[in-house]
Amino acid sequence: MLVIGRVLVVVCAAALIAAEDGIGYNRDVRPILADNCFHCHGPDAKKRKAGLALHDRALALATLRDSDGAAIVPGDVAASVLVARIRSDDADERMPPAKSHKQLSADEIATLERWIAAGATYEPHWSYIAPMPPALPAVDTGWVRDDVDRFVRARLDRDGVAPQPEADRVALIRRLSADLTGLPPSAAAVAAFIADPAPDAYERLVDRLLASPRYGERMAVWWLDLVRYADSIGYHSDNPRNVQPYRDYVIAAFNDDLPFDRFTIEQIAGDLLPDADRRTRVASGYNRLLQTTEEGGAQAKEYEAKNLSDRVRNVSTAWLGATIGCAECHDHKFDPYSAHDFAALGAFFSDVQEASIGPREEGMPVAMPAQQSELERLDGVIAAADGELAAAASAEFDAERAAWEARALGYGSPLLSPWQAIGPFAAATTPAAFATVFAPEIGMQDVPAADAPQWTVRPEFVDGVAHPLTGDNSAWYLQRTIAVAVDQDVQVSLGSDDGFALWLDGQPVLAKEVYRGVAPDQDAATLRLTPGEHRILLKIHNGGGGFGFYFRVVGPAPEAVLVALNAPTRDAAQIGAIDVYFRSIAESLAPTRARRAAAKTERDALYAAVPKT
């Protein structure tokens, strides 16, 4: 990308000097015509008057509809009707007309006349003029270090200005550091540069700054502005979005001196490449740099149109150096683009699959190196635990399993009392409703004060059905007894809106601070019961809107396991089901399961923090 910039500097410098030798259409003439004439005599055929179009040479040189002459006669100022009209003393004949509130200055008229006298040469849009290596001006080469200097010296000589002395090293390193990294040099770097006697000290300083990670950050600023990078969606509440990995891609592209053609391809279609990888897919995040909204009532079709327009405008500006966006509603007034061109360019992006409104999808995870390393470590811990759980085998393990099977064969259905309910207990916020220890948690069987909510038997709260509760930013408690005749584990299934906490005989079993609607079988827990009666306490907390709970006893084991245990002859699938289930509850494997669960929790939390794009 550095090479491209250097070529452009040389070409532009040459063009500037060349333009000063005569009149240039794009630089000198076109702005005058565009500002004063094109409104009535330009690209818009519907507004064109007298059949005259000055934006096109062939049309401008054609014989006028109401005259024997032509508006422009190359090389003949006196025969050009355009000159006669702009110099006319007759207010009805003079152009631009008074009602346009436009008036050409003497310098502008002189420029048009010089241009016609020189042959009225038109030029295509500047972005379609291929850069050509210019002829190097002949100058005193004693001052010149490279070709750019030749053009600078030629201009200085023309203006009679002597070159300034070379800047001192303090100024040089300050300028270089600001230009290439956007930061001032350190005192140590300045001292080292001043003290460096090598003839290539300057060149080596440039190389050091180009090798700095700050270089890519500096260069990326302009590109990110050009492609309208932002960490939020723009409209309405300006919600955040995850596109930071794209920013890091751009920085790395400059630091790695990625070829500009590859830089272009990867951003526009990096996900479609045959060799697409994470980097190129991140690069294609360019296509997500759009403004959108999560506002209620927003119309998807409206934002599809906005997105198409935004993409066409940005691609044409960033890569084509063109303002095709002006052709969204009509043919371009000044440049050679039609409304058809606008739609055709937009069609290239019509297969981008994304919602035009509403919350943005999470996107592709892009873990930082340290995060990726830790994810892999945790995956290893989980895999090792899974291996231990699957491979556990010993005489002690077999005896534990045989004892469990014997107990399981004698399991009976637990006896459950009707639910009692108490609530709502109000809190200042939704999290406070979950975290606050209200009276039922202190003593489940205590009788609350007379003016407080009271325990009420709720026979309508049958198991296996979701039941509604009431109260925003509040909590409800439900309690019941459960009795068994022998030692057994009872599986229960739960659902809640929003979060819940479950206790058995005052000891916590499971708690989740979540925010959701209630549904069957959202969570599961195991109640380890000894013979006799036990007490279940269930807390449900809610923020706003829907509020409710769901509960059912699954059994001492999943139904498929119970069927397998009681089968007269067990097939391979039943033996496997019993084995998998027992390993999930065996006391001897509890440390391994705990280690796996801790690693899984840690991994889930880390994954949630991984940038996504």
Query: What is the 8-class DSSP label of residue 29?
Result: I
- Please name the residue that has the structure tokens 């006298």: 117
Q: Do the strands 467-468 and 548-555 form a parallel or antiparallel pair, or are they unpaired?
A: antiparallel
Cβ count near 435 (within 10 Å): 13
Q: Report whether the peptide linkage leading into residue 184 is cis, meaning its omega lies within 30 degrees of zero.
A: no
What's the confidence (pLDDT) of residue 130? 86
Q: Give how far Cα 80 sits from Cα of 67, 70, 73, 109, 433, Å.
A: 11, 6, 5, 13, 86
Answer whether residue 555 shows pLDDT above 80: no
User: Residue 18 — very low, low, confident or very high, per pLDDT cuts 50/70/90?
Assistant: very low
What's the confidence (pLDDT) of residue 126? 75
What's the confidence (pLDDT) of residue 422? 93
Cβ burial 355-394 (10 Å sphere, 16+ → b, else e): ebbeebeebbbbbeeebeeebeebeebbeebeebbeebee
The residue with greater pLDDT, 190 or 243, is: 190
User: Residue 8 — very low, low, confident or very high, per pLDDT cuts 50/70/90?
Assistant: very low
What's the confidence (pLDDT) of residue 4? 46
Rounded Cα gap, residues 592 and 187, in angstroms: 56
Answer whether residue 10 shows pLDDT above 70: no
What's the confidence (pLDDT) of residue 445? 52
Q: What is the average pLDDT across 570-588?
A: 89
What are the residues facing 523 on neighbouring strands?
494
Q: What is the average pLDDT across 39-65?
A: 89
For the chain, what percent of residues have pLDDT higher than 70? 95
- 522-541, pLDDT tens digit by residue? 998 989 999 999 999 999 99
- Please name the residue that has the structure tokens 């939390």: 605
Select from 53, 57, 97 the least CA-distant residue to 73.
Answer: 57
Helix (H, G, I), strand (E, B) or coil at 549: strand
What's the confidence (pLDDT) of residue 7? 46
Rounded Cα gap, residues 111 and 27, in angstroms: 11
Q: What is the average pLDDT across 296-314?
A: 89
Answer whether residue 9 shows pLDDT above 90: no
What's the confidence (pLDDT) of residue 76? 95
Mean pLDDT (the chain, rounded): 88
Q: Are 68 and 150 in contact (CB under 8 A)?
A: no
Sign of the torsion angle spanned by Cα atoms 306, 309, 312, 313: negative
Q: Are 453 and 516 in contact (CB under 8 A)?
A: no
Rounded Cα gap, residues 240 and 248, in angstroms: 17
User: Residue 143 — very low, low, confident or very high, per pLDDT cuts 50/70/90?
Assistant: confident
Select from 471, 475, 470 the least CA-distant residue to 437.
Answer: 475
Written as one letter, the residue type at 363 is: G
What's the confidence (pLDDT) of residue 65? 84
Rounded Cα gap, residues 586 and 426, in angstroms: 41
For the chain, what percent of residues have pLDDT higher than 90? 57
Answer whether residue 137 shows pLDDT above 70: yes
**Domain 412-556: which CATH class?**
mainly beta
User: Residue 58 — very low, low, confident or very high, per pLDDT cuts 50/70/90?
Assistant: very high
- 409-462, pLDDT tens digit by residue? 777 778 999 999 999 999 999 899 999 999 898 865 555 566 677 899 999 999
Q: Write the DSSP string, 44-75.
A: -TTT--TT--SSSHHHHHSBPTTSSSBS--TT
Phi and psi at 66, nearest 5°, equal: -115, 30
What's the confidence (pLDDT) of residue 83? 95
- 113-128, pLDDT tens digit by residue? 999 999 999 998 777 7
Q: What is the average pLDDT across 486-515?
A: 91
What's the confidence (pLDDT) of residue 17? 46
Q: What is the average pLDDT across 184-192?
A: 96
- 89-115, pLDDT tens digit by residue? 999 999 999 999 999 999 999 999 999
Q: Report whether the peptide linkage leading into residue 498 is cis, meaning its omega lies within 30 degrees of zero.
A: yes
Answer whether residue 295 shows pLDDT above 60: yes
Cβ burial 212-243 (10 Å sphere, 16+ → b, else e): eebbbbbbbeebbeebbbeeebebeeeeebbb
What's the confidence (pLDDT) of residue 410? 72
Strand ranges (E), 372-504: 415-416, 420-426, 456-457, 467-468, 474-484, 488-497, 500-504
Domain boundaries of the chain, sorted by first residue:
25-122, 169-211, 218-347, 412-556
Q: Are 388 and 397 in contact (CB under 8 A)?
A: no
pTM of whole model > 0.85? no
How many alpha carbons fall within 13 Å on the CB side of residue 398?
3
The angle at the Cα of 514, spanning 511 to 519, to the nearest 5 degrees, equals 95
Q: Are 215 and 181 in contact (CB under 8 A)?
A: yes
Q: Which two structure tokens, joined as six digits, stand for 127?
A: 């972005």
Rounded Cα gap, residues 411 and 257, in angstroms: 71
What are the residues facing 532 on neighbouring strands?
484
